[in-house]
Structure 1
Amino acid sequence: MKIEVWSDIACPWCYIGKHRLDTAISSFAHADEVEVVWRSYQLDPDAPRVTDKNLNQTLSEKHGISLAQAVAMNDKMRRMGAKEGLIYRFDVARYGSSFDAHRLIHFARTHGLQSAMQNRLFAAYFGEGKALGDHATLLALALDAGLPELEVRDVLASDAFADQVRADAEEARQLNVRGVPFVVIDRKYALPGAQPVEVIGDALRQAWSETHPLGDFTAAADADGYCEADACKLPS
């Protein structure tokens, strides 16, 4: 079974979505036969590489709301993340481009470390105030994920995997992906948004039963887990 996930490190719902997907797969009877491929998607392709603005300030400016309103919106997200055991600190998370981080995620796949790279980037961005566009920071995070230093340096010093990042974005447009996370199972089922673990598990079993038929099965979908936060929508 092949699962493809379009996501952005800068998307708070994607962090929750990855955690839920990992949880669902860990309890799936055929987990050892599941391949997960992380696809690139940028919510803001025009973001500057590095800024000093935190995500509360960015949300306020982008949507023309007060800083207090932005803090309240992000605090709701923070509480939801806490229920999943994830740390969000929107007061220190720094707005900036995720393009080079996506290049590293593609590189990590060549070493079988995509998931580890994703997890390290999410935790660093949302919980530690690390800048996704800073190469020294990305190098340190890649080493934390277990990637070889010299190869990481070569990737960051070049445009390696840039074409793959752009190709993922183009394919997302062809698939009419309008928000992330967006999960595709065996190119048959699509799960938009950070679906509950139970819904993901049902979809995994449904997809598996179709290629390994053992009986009838019907998955129940629930829209409650769909992306709702403005931060997970395409910029207008």
Structure 2
Amino acid sequence: MMKDKLNSPFAVISKIESVNTSFKVLYDKQIRHYKLREHTYLVLSEFFKYFNAFPLPLEEKKGRAWFKYLLALHDIGKAISSGGDIIEDKYIYTKELVNQIASSLNIENELELILALLEFDSLGEYFRGKANLNSTVRTIEQQSSKAKVNLEDYFRLKFIYYQCDLASYTEDAGGIKFLEYLFEYDGGNKKINSNEQRIGFSKKYEKSLGQLERKLGLQ
């Protein structure tokens, strides 16, 4: 597998902007208290900091570049959606923009998977208590089927994406102090669970994660 040249958050965002200059305007949009470019940079930074050393599911077949583009594009629809925070609008516009740029980024073969990962905030809804265990499992199963990948690979990819996004809303990531209570820390950095190749969560969220993985048949 050829190693991609996207070796930093800046490189990923710059590549997108170089193949479609209209994305520069989108990344410079103000979304509530931050510019989209800043949030995207932090999400990618958390991926490079905590996950770059670990293999990705499906990496042997698909490489890693497509997943970095997914992270860089995950909120792009907010730049043109109503008020920046209507979820339905966000996904509609994100889908349009990802479809628009897919051929230029050479991610057409991963398009179904990318859109299936972006479509629902199933893990966010679950961990915030807005969706119960059974409905979350159904959504994940339906989306893995839509993506045409097995359940474990889909869940692991979804969970990495979720962790990078969530972890960006912390002071140690370069953002505003906000979601630190979700994580375990060690020396000022989020603690890594090396055995499971993920960030460590606080006890409450570790328990919820365990329940979800068992219901999915992944433990």
The TM-score with structure 1 as length reference comes to 0.26
Larger Rg, first or second structure (1 or 2): 1
Question: RCO higher in 1 or 2 (8 Å CA, sep ≥ 6)?
Answer: 1
Structure holding more helix per residue: 2
The TM-score with structure 2 as length reference comes to 0.27
